[in-house]
A and B are shown apart, each in its own frame.
Chain A
Amino acid sequence: MERIPILKMGDFLLVTIQVDMHDRLVMTLQDDLMEKISTCNSAGVLIDISALEIVDSFIGRMIANIAAMSRVLDAKTVVTGMQPAVAITLVELGLSLDGVMTALNVERGVKLLEKITRSESQYLDGTSAQELVDDNDHKS
């Protein structure tokens, strides 16, 4: 069965949506993510949608659902890389994704996740993700 891969990156889960998803694939991603948050004890989820050409009400609802469900599982969700045309269309469509945090790109998204997860629980060790950010900085 077709699946969107979910990568574990320290305390966070990373999902990069690269294909135009049919509705069932979207539902599968939602279920897989919740399962993975639980098994990996993840503090945050980052969903990169920079390759998505459109976000319709179904995908928008999925994103809002993932954010809400993650919250219940004590994880934060950040959506990154939304195309400007997608943002314009989404708001005109009537969806404002209330309660969903966004960042311009993956790097900023990871930093945002680190910030909010660290400020919320002091004992959470965010170094592994920080190392990854540093690592990326060196490469670029």
Chain B
Amino acid sequence: MTLLKVEDLKVHFPIRGGFFRTVVDHVRAVDGVSFELEEGETYGLVGESGSGKSTTGKAIVKLNKVTSGKILFEGQDIANYSSRQIKPYRRDIQMIFQDPYSSLNPKKRVLDIIAEPLRNFERHSPGEEKKIIQDYLDKVGLSPDSIYKYPHEFSGGQRQRIGIARSLTLKPKLIIADEPVSALDVSVQAQVLNFLQDLQEEFKLTYLFVGHDLGVIRHMCDRMGVMYRGRLVEEGTSKEIYNNPQHIYTKRLIAAIPDLEPSVREEKAIARQKVSEEYEQSYSKYFDEKGRAYDLKPISTTHRVALP
């Protein structure tokens, strides 16, 4: 069943200039992106910085204003809902933020941070609330005694777990994870990722996983989309993208993944060189005269590529 369907989503930011500060142009952060999320799957959005992947995620939770396009959540178009109309959907769509240092209010205790969504939507006595919070803390692997601590008393990984616990308390259906591990060191990354997968099974969660780390995305996602300059250039199952990249940008992205095996190092370097040459020669073939990627065309039932 389709849980989330994004149709031709556009998020443009105005550039103001001139004497009267009129809108002279737009930054097309997201420029016509469409994809679908099945219930229970993990969909990855990859791309370089500034490619619009985070903006897409933020538009779905309405942190960015949608310029045009549809965001269908369980069949309802929530793209243009007012803040009052969107409120019931806030329960179902939650977000995990990239930076565990700024995403927790430094003045609040862990109890208040995790209880915030609960207090907005449900009524609990303080005793019940405390029990629920301790339950979730236990689930994310933190000591239930830490509810009276402040965020600065935790490490980055622990803080990110607090952020995850906060997004779980309302039992959402869809979680948008905006580079949830990019601020953590590698050992903690693996821990948090595995733990996100465990939670997915336990709570039947659907993830929209935004990231630039291809290794992480491969580990996590069933299907993925590659973004470049606000457009999707390739979409398919993770296997298809990694083993059979069709778009020149995807090829280059995949070639850039470092290999730990020293014996194939040379081989890899040559392959990378080749892709780089191809990139320079045929770059213009893959984009129209304005430098915009073409619309996606299916090359198999699951694999779509932006080709002319």
Q: Do A and B come from one complex?
A: no
Residues of A within 8 A of B (CB): none
